[in-house]
Amino acid sequence: MSPRNLFTAENLNLSIGEQIIFDDAAISAFEGERIAVIGRNGTGKTTLLKVIAGTEIPLDTKIAKERDLRIAVMPQDFQLDDTLSARENIRKGLEWFYELLRLYETKLPAAEHEKIEELLNRYDAWHLEHKLDEIMEKLRLRDDPAPVLHASGGEKRRIALARAIISEPDLLLLDEPTNHLDVETIEWIENFLAAWRGTAIFITHDRRFLDKIATRVVELDHGKIYSYPGNYADYLAGRAERLEAADAQENRRQSFLRREIEWVRRSPKARMKRNMGRLRRYEEIAAQSGPQRDEEIDLVIPRGPRMGNLILNMKDVSLKFGEREIIKNFNFEFSPGCRLGVVGPNGAGKTTFLRLITGDLLPDSGSIRVAPTVQFNYVDQSRVLLDENKSVLDEISEGLSSVQLGSETISVWTYLRRFLFDERRINTRIDRLSGGEKARLALAKVLLKGGNFLLLDEPTNDLDLSSLRLLEEALLDFNGCLIAVSHDRYFLNRISTHILGFDGEGNAFFTPGDYDYYLEKRPAKVQTEPKERAKAAVPVPPPAPAKKKLSYKEQKELEGMEQRIAAAEEKVSEYENMFSSPDFFAAHGNDSAKLQQEFEEAQKELASLYSRWEELETKAAECRN
């Protein structure tokens, strides 16, 4: 049985000035789908959600949707009633259920009464306050009677999300639901959507979220909507095939034009009446345009001054806000080339950690030593470094016609073109820019400062997928040190050499490697002793095979493989425990680079042993057969 078609929009056409948003585009949504909407900033993703929600419908657009379709929306610029508490704001999402209960208690015809009762049973809507308690607990929202006026941005976003999903609509529309949320909340949203029985359409730049949740990806590209079944990885493969096919078609078109133009130039017969059809065909093909391609940011981080072995040393650092411990007895030492990802729940102290490093805050106790060769460069989460009253040009130029980018001197206009600000946008006031444009401008400004130690607080917010990829490549090529506070797990996996996690109670946990490795080793999941872990991790080979084709040397190697793997596992575990120890940098700070190299070699040796064990076991199994 085919899934129900909940919504279809056809003949979508919309232009804003010279920019084409939709060019005879179409989109449908079927029951049970989880559709991700992606595209460059400004391509019309939010507008598409408004079309689906019914708040903005272009002229002549054909809309077909299921009767009585219930739609809930969490827009990017959501609004809460600041005079109400969190509970009261979320309760607004239950209005449809409260109306059903009210109708159920009135005198109705039996058939209608049974229909309402069936709906109340289907949604388990008899105890709505219990549902409200449950959603607030899962999204870690305090049941505070105070108005939400002074709640944090992340808390307000969780309230808006709870209000949307508690209504259990047929179609849920989410615009950037993961922005400004911590990883724990994002993972809860992922699990909720993965198990949800309804249909969801969401805009996000979180590639890990896309990979886990999407059953279909739709891309907005130059007014067209392209659909790709599957998740983000499937989209990348499908998009590559589409672009390759478009390029092949364009090559055929150009070959045809080259052949025909030679015929037109050389043959007087081309102008004869019987050949006018061929000439018109040539003119029609020549009038067609080739595939459009977006420009890419030319994002190059200039090489900073060389640093010595001593970079930054934090020893026994503690800080309190009132009675709350933000950081306690913290020790850390940066090694050259370290790219540190910082994670933790909202309010855990991640931004405070950056401010301690730059000297904006002083610790209550302990010391922070910064080498004289270190030059910090800080990208603030709130983009406060941008003056909203200035134009893009004035913000970057500061009255000069050229900028110094490392050893290169270029004009301000050329520099801004690298960040995709064309002539129309260069003189635009900053308060009129989109979130993505502000993010690009913040990067453009901060990179001018140079420096050899970058501090990035949520750098991925508002950047589109293409810009994210280019930022990652630039950071990987950067020769200095880096701290990146981020909830973007895909980003952290790509750029991090180490991860530091704060738990919100003043404690920190450090691991070498990327975010996935940190997730595997963080304290909540590391509960056994090293030897027990090593023993549990060793694959137990089956009984020794009949030794027909294995040489005597191979037999002995296989028999001793379990013991060698156990020893290698224990060696890796020793390094893991050393790195995760709170006093690691106090005890081993001067040797951290050397120990990191030894740890990586131990991991490679273990992987090699596993590979050799599998090879010998395969050969032995073939002998038995």
Between CA 436 and CA 70 the distance in angstroms is 31
Average pLDDT of the residues in 578-600: 68
Residue 245: pLDDT over 50:
yes
pLDDT in tens, 85-113: 999 999 999 999 999 999 988 888 888 88
- The pLDDT of residue 173 is 94
Query: In terms of C-beta density within 10 A (0-12 exposed, 13-18 middle, 19 or more buried), how is residue 552 classed?
Result: exposed
Q: In which band, very low, low, confident or very high, does the pLDDT at 535 lie, cut at 50, 70 and 90?
A: very low
Q: Could you tell me which residues are beta bridge partners of residue 391?
A: 429
| Cα 410 → chain centroid | 32
- The pLDDT of residue 91 is 94
Average pLDDT of the residues in 340-356: 87
Q: In which band, very low, low, confident or very high, does the pLDDT at 526 lie, cut at 50, 70 and 90?
A: very low
Residue 69: pLDDT over 80:
yes
Q: How many helices (H) and strands (E) does the chain have?
A: 23, 20
Q: How high is the mean pLDDT of the chain?
A: 81
Between CA 202 and CA 36 the distance in angstroms is 5
One-letter identity of residue 2: S
Token digits for 348?
A: 């855990």
Between CA 81 and CA 67 the distance in angstroms is 30
Q: What is residue 346's DSSP assignment?
A: T
Query: In terms of C-beta density within 10 A (0-12 exposed, 13-18 middle, 19 or more buried), how is residue 464 classed?
Result: buried
Residue 130: pLDDT over 50:
yes
User: Which residues, in sequence order, are CB contacts of 545 under 8 Å at separation 6+?
Assistant: 620, 621, 623, 624
Other CB atoms within a 10 A radius of the CB of residue 456 amount to: 25
Between CA 495 and CA 367 the distance in angstroms is 28
- The pLDDT of residue 581 is 64
Residue 533: pLDDT over 70:
no
Between CA 601 and CA 607 the distance in angstroms is 10
- The pLDDT of residue 531 is 36
- The pLDDT of residue 277 is 67
The runs of H, that is alpha helices, within 267-343 are 276-287
Residue 151: pLDDT over 90:
no
Contact 211, 232 (CB under 8 A): yes
Residue 596: pLDDT over 80:
no
Between CA 146 and CA 152 the distance in angstroms is 13
Average pLDDT of the residues in 117-138: 90
Contact 129, 143 (CB under 8 A): no
pLDDT in tens, 460-512: 877 778 778 888 888 888 888 999 999 889 999 999 999 999 887 888 888 88
For 137-153, give the secondary structure using H, E and C: HHCCCCCCCCCHHHCCH
Residue 170: pLDDT over 80:
yes
Between CA 549 and CA 282 the distance in angstroms is 70
User: Which residues, in sequence order, are CB contacts of 18 under 8 Å at separation 6+?
Assistant: none
Residue 224: pLDDT over 70:
yes
Average pLDDT of the residues in 282-302: 66
For the stretch 120-139, what's the b/e string if a residue is b when 16 or more beta carbons lie within 10 angstroms of its beta carbon? beeeebeebeebbeebbebb
Query: In terms of C-beta density within 10 A (0-12 exposed, 13-18 middle, 19 or more buried), how is residue 200 classed?
Result: buried
| Cα angle for residues 532, 535, 539 (degrees, 5° grid) | 150
CA nearest to 49, candidates 229, 183, 174: 174
Residue 556: pLDDT over 90:
no
**Least trusted range by pLDDT, from 87-91, 330-334, 555-559:** 555-559
Between CA 77 and CA 47 the distance in angstroms is 13
- The pLDDT of residue 85 is 93
Q: In which band, very low, low, confident or very high, does the pLDDT at 303 lie, cut at 50, 70 and 90?
A: confident
DSSP E strands in 82-188: the ranges are 171-175
One-letter identity of residue 214: A
Average pLDDT of the residues in 212-224: 91
- The pLDDT of residue 582 is 54
**Least trusted range by pLDDT, from 227-236, 447-456, 547-556, 569-578:** 547-556
pLDDT in tens, 391-424: 888 888 877 888 776 667 888 888 888 777 877 7
Average pLDDT of the residues in 424-448: 79
Share of the chain above pLDDT 90, in %: 21
Count how many Cα atoms sit within 13 Å of the Cα of residue 11 in the half-sphere of its side chain: 8
Residue 527: pLDDT over 80:
no
Q: In which band, very low, low, confident or very high, does the pLDDT at 269 lie, cut at 50, 70 and 90?
A: low
Contact 108, 116 (CB under 8 A): yes
Residue 84: pLDDT over 90:
yes
- The pLDDT of residue 538 is 34
Residue 340: pLDDT over 80:
yes
- The pLDDT of residue 468 is 84
